Amino acid sequence: GCGTGAVIELLHEKYHNAHYVGLDLTPDMIAVAQAKSLNGCEFVVGDAEDLPFPANSFDAVLSSNSFHHYPNPEKFFAGVARVLRPGGRLILRDYTLRNTFELPLARLAGHGDVRILKQSQFRAMAEEAGLSVLAMEAQKGWRAHLVAQK
């Protein structure tokens, strides 16, 4: 869920020689990202649970604050394991079970699909997909930070 490409834009500013691909389910978000015309960046309409990319095509996959919306998160992990090259890494940042402030507010605002997981659930899904978990922590007690490697 790259949205309007804000994270990719920040990465591009710092590491402008890398190639980036953003994926989002919403065509309007992708249109905004594409309008930024960032060299070496592609923005694709697609589903994170059915990644539209060939096997072994990425060195890294970054998922930032969209994972909690995925109805079938196991499919995301399986897809990541498929598209990562050997040695490639997944960096996933999202909410974890101890978040007692933002998630109730999200539900009140009509985001009923928001679901949070325990750290053990993140770890189990990554490992079931064949990824090795290098780090799993709750930063500030409520932000999940997972690093896994193929």
What percentage of the chain exceeds 90 in pLDDT? 69
CA–CA gap between residue 21 and residue 8 (Å, rounded) = 8
Question: Average of pLDDT values for 58-81?
Answer: 93
* Residue range 26-66, pLDDT digits in tens: 999 999 999 999 999 999 999 999 999 999 999 999 999 88
Instruction: Give residue for tokens 């539209």.
Output: 52
- Percent of the chain with pLDDT strictly greater than 70: 85
Q: What is the pLDDT of residue 85?
A: 98
Tens of pLDDT along 9-20?
999 999 989 999
Paired with 21 in beta bridges are 42
The pLDDT value given to residue 109: 58
Does 100 score more than 60 pLDDT? no
Encoded tokens for 21: 């691909």
| AA identity, residue 1 | G
**Model pTM?**
0.86
H/E element holding 106?
helix 102-108
E strand segments, the chain: 20-24, 41-45, 58-64, 84-95, 132-139, 143-149
Tell me how crowded residue 56 is: count the other CB atoms within 10 A of its CB: 12
| CA–CA separation, 99 and 39 (whole Å) | 37
- Give the pLDDT confidence score for residue 27 in this predicted structure: 97
Q: What is the pLDDT of residue 32?
A: 97
pLDDT band at 117 (very low <50, low <70, confident <90, very high): confident
Bridge-based pairing state of the strands 132-139 and 84-95: unpaired
